[in-house]
Structure formats: structure tokens, C-alpha cells
């Protein structure tokens, strides 16, 4: 199938329209017309080569919302016209213990990311959602509930699941005290989801500038990390901290905020962090942990949870040809919303 997308042709160039082919349907494949495509901070890291050498042209995008156009003969769960989504993975071995219990993101044989990785069967490079169409095996296709606004649902598939999974893993519920570091794409979803789960949520920020935004999202307040007195007064006041900052940073100021047995979960930065002292961990049995997206069932769960609680990411809808401008804004720092491309602005004859 012929399609068109926006691709990076090298690590330092602007993204440009790119004509390419999607594979012919295999028996268990679903062909999707992409309607909306979210722009994730990790797209930017990947395109820039921050996480290792890439093969170009590279079509990023792993927050995909669309409609089923066609299905292979063995597909049972989807039919033409269904509203569907695709997140950060498009395949895994489907036979190891992690895949068996629904944590395909930790597949023993390595999951296949939505873009920039070899397909398990034919070895071609996967290409992501900044495109008109995608073909994905049905096990990795998600159902988009009717209650969700399709134009604002895409970021649930990465920013949403990445924060939902650790909130569930660490049993956040009524009365939990949750801190969120960073109020970008991930952070703003973390606040909304944790509030809906019944938690009391504090946003940790370098300035009070974000206070209004944080409160509008449902947070009970902002703790300014550069305010030493306020940080000291907040010692041992949190059960869980979600650290969504996507660059190297210092954990030292945050660990004392955790109560005994509290956990700080890193979901933003992949790579080196500044040194941190072990004392706050020992004197308080605190933990520093990490978490990667979530499994396929859990991704369906977060879509359903957002539908049930009327949670939508804060989105700014842009045209596909504005992608390079969006990247330059994101490179300058956190924005408390997600850019989502309306893919109807991209035509095959472009």
C-alpha cells in the first residue's frame, strides 16, 4: 500500500514529506487510516540520535488514532470502520512469560517499537504514525471507546500509559499522596490520572509559574523545588513521585520528600542521571525505580479509564507541515500540552 508521511532524513535535518510503502496485509493484520498523530518528546530524542544511531529515513510517531480500513482473513476483533489506536509497540514474541501475562513491553525477546526497529517477520524497518496509514497485527491494535474525542485521544497511547502504569503498579488510590515532577506531556497526564484515582497530587516545579496550570489539572498545589524552606517543610509527605523530566537532572532534592517506603519512579529520562546520595534511601527505605510504558491490556485499560472519567490530554491540534515548528518549541522546554497532528492535512499526491 502506498502511503505518505513526514520523515527525518538525518539527525540534524528538518522533517520532510516522504512517500513509502506499507506491507500487504498478513492474515492477522489490521490496516489503519491514521486520523490523528501525537508528537512525543521521545520522537525528538530518537530523531536527534540521542538514544543511539538511527536508520533514516525515519517516520516517528507512536500515539496513533485512526479507523480500520481493511483486515486480514484471521482478524476477529476488528472490522472496517472501527475506531482504533496504536501505541509504542507493534509486536513482541507472544510466547515468553512477560508476553503471557500482558507485559509485552518487557518481552524477554524484545518488543518491536512502532518505529525505527526491524519487523520480526520481514526485517524491514518499522515506520510510525506521522503518516496516512499503518499496518499492525491485531494483538497490538487498541479499541478507542466512543466517549473519547478522537482528536484528543492520541497522547493517551504514550503519555497516558507511561504514567498510568506506575500509578497502578504502586497501588495509587484514594488518599495516596503523589508528587509529579515536570508538567509536560507526561506530567500533565500523570496529574489528571492520579487525581481521578483519588490521590492528592502535588506538582514539583522549579518555579511557581506552573501553579495555575497545575491547579487547573486538579493538583492540590505546586511545590517549588528551589524554595529550600518549602522543600524542607514537605519532607516525608509523599508516597510516590513520578519523575517525568526527559533530560538528565538531579534527584537529590526530591528523595527526602518521600515518606518511609516511598518510591520515586523515573519515566522521562532514559540515560545518565546526576549522582545521588544513598542516605535518604537507607534512612527511610525509599526507592528509586523506573517504568516503561505499559502492556497492551493495560493500554486498553487506560483508554477505557480516560473514557469513563472524561479525561482528555490537553492537545494543540496542528497541521503535519507544522511538525518542525512543534519540535523547536519542545526543544526549548516543557509545554503543558501535547501537539497532535491532524493527518487529514496530508494527502497522498502531496
- The residues binding Zn ion (CB under 5 A) are 40, 42, 92-93, 96, 99, 107, 158
Residue 85's Cβ-side half-sphere holds a number of Cα atoms within 13 Å equal to: 33
Output the DSSP codes for 300-329. Answer: HHHHHHHHHTT----EEEE-GGGHHHHHHH
CA torsion, ordered 295, 297, 298, 300, to nearest 10 deg: 120
Q: For residues 46 and 176, which CB has a smaller minimum distance to Zn ion in the complex?
A: 46
Nearest to 64 by CA among 139, 135, 118, 165: 135
Q: For residues 118 and 173, which CB has a smaller minimum distance to Zn ion in the complex?
A: 118
How far apart are CB 199 and Zn ion at their closest, in Å? Answer: 23
How far apart are CB 277 and Zn ion at their closest, in Å? Answer: 31
Q: For residues 54 and 92, which CB has a smaller minimum distance to Zn ion in the complex?
A: 92
CA 266 to chain centre: 13
Q: For residues 109 and 328, which CB has a smaller minimum distance to Zn ion in the complex?
A: 109
Q: For residues 93 and 231, which CB has a smaller minimum distance to Zn ion in the complex?
A: 93
How far apart are CB 198 and Zn ion at their closest, in Å? Answer: 26
Residues 154/65, Cβ–Cβ less than 8 Å: yes
How far apart are CB 348 and Zn ion at their closest, in Å? Answer: 26
**What Cα–Cα distance (Å) separates residue 167 from each residue in 7, 136, 181, 231, 285?**
34, 28, 14, 23, 19
Q: For residues 96 and 317, which CB has a smaller minimum distance to Zn ion in the complex?
A: 96
Cα-Cα-Cα-Cα dihedral sign, residues 6, 10, 13, 19:
negative
How far apart are CB 162 and Zn ion at their closest, in Å? Answer: 7
Q: For residues 38 and 320, which CB has a smaller minimum distance to Zn ion in the complex?
A: 38
> How many other C-beta atoms are found inside a 10 Å radius of the C-beta of residue 170?
18
Residues 236/256, Cβ–Cβ less than 8 Å: yes
**What Cα–Cα distance (Å) separates residue 292 from each residue in 55, 162, 197?**
23, 6, 20
Q: For residues 43 and 200, which CB has a smaller minimum distance to Zn ion in the complex?
A: 43
How far apart are CB 295 and Zn ion at their closest, in Å? Answer: 11
Output the DSSP codes for 194-259. Answer: HHHTT-EEEEEESSGGGHHHHHHTT-SEEEETT-HHHHHHTTT-EEEEEE---S----TTTGGGEE
How far apart are CB 42 and Zn ion at their closest, in Å? Answer: 4
How far apart are CB 23 and Zn ion at their closest, in Å? Answer: 21
CA 100 to chain centre: 23
Amino acid at each position: 500500500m502506498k502511503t505518505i508521511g513526514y520523515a527525518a532524513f538525518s539527525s540534524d535535518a528538518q522533517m520532510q514529506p516522504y512517500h513509502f510503502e506499507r506491507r500487504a496485509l498478513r492474515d492477522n493484520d489490521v490496516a489503519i487510516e491514521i486520523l490523528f498523530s501525537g508528537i512525543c518528546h521521545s520522537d525528538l530524542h530518537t530523531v536527534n540520535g540521542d538514544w543511539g544511531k538511527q536508520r533514516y529515513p525515519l517516520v516517528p510517531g507512536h500515539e496513533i488514532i485512526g479507523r480500520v480500513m481493511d483486515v486480514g482473513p484471521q482478524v476477529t476483533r476488528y472490522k472496517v470502520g472501527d475506531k482504533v489506536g496504536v501505541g509504542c509497540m507493534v509486536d513482541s514474541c507472544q510466547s515468553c512469560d512477560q508476553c503471557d501475562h500482558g507485559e509485552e513491553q518487557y518481552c524477554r525477546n524484545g518488543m518491536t517499537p512502532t518505529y525505527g526497529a526491524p519487523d520480526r517477520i520481514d526485517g524491514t524497518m518499522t515506520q510510525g504514525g506521522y503518516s496516512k496509514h499503518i499496518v499492525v497485527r491485531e494483538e497490538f491494535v487498541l479499541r478507542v471507546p466512543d466517549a473519547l474525542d478522537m482528536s484528543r485521544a492520541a497522547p493517551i497511547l504514550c503519555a497516558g500509559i507511561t504514567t498510568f502504569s506506575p500509578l497502578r503498579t504502586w497501588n495509587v488510590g484514594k488518599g495516596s499522596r503523589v508528587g509529579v515532577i515536570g508538567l509536560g506531556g507526561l506530567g500533565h497526564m500523570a496529574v489528571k490520572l492520579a487525581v481521578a484515582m483519588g490521590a492528592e497530587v502535588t506538582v514539583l516545579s522549579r518555579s511557581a509559574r506552573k501553579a495555575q496550570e497545575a491547579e487547573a489539572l486538579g493538583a492540590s498545589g505546586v511545590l517549588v523545588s528551589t524554595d529550600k524552606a518549602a522543600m524542607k517543610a514537605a519532607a516525608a509527605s509523599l508516597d510516590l513521585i513520578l519523575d517525568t523530566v526527559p533530560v538528565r537532572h538531579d534527584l537529590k532534592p526530591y528523595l527526602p520528600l518521600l515518606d518511609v517506603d516511598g518510591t520515586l519512579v523515573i519515566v522521562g529520562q532514559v540515560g545518565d542521571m546526576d549522582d545521588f546520595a544513598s542516605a535518604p534511601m537507607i534512612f527511610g527505605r525509599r526507592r528509586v525505580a523506573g517504568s516503561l510504558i505499559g502492556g497492551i491490556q493495560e493500554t486498553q485499560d487506560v483508554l477505557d479509564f480516560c473514557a469513563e472519567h472524561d479525561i482528555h490530554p490537553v492537545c494543540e491540534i496542528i497541521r503535519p507541515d507544522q511538525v518542525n515548528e512543534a519540535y523547536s518549541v519542545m526543544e526549548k522546554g516543557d509545554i503543558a500540552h501535547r501537539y497532535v497532528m491532524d493527518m487529514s492535512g496530508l494527502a497522498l499526491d502531496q
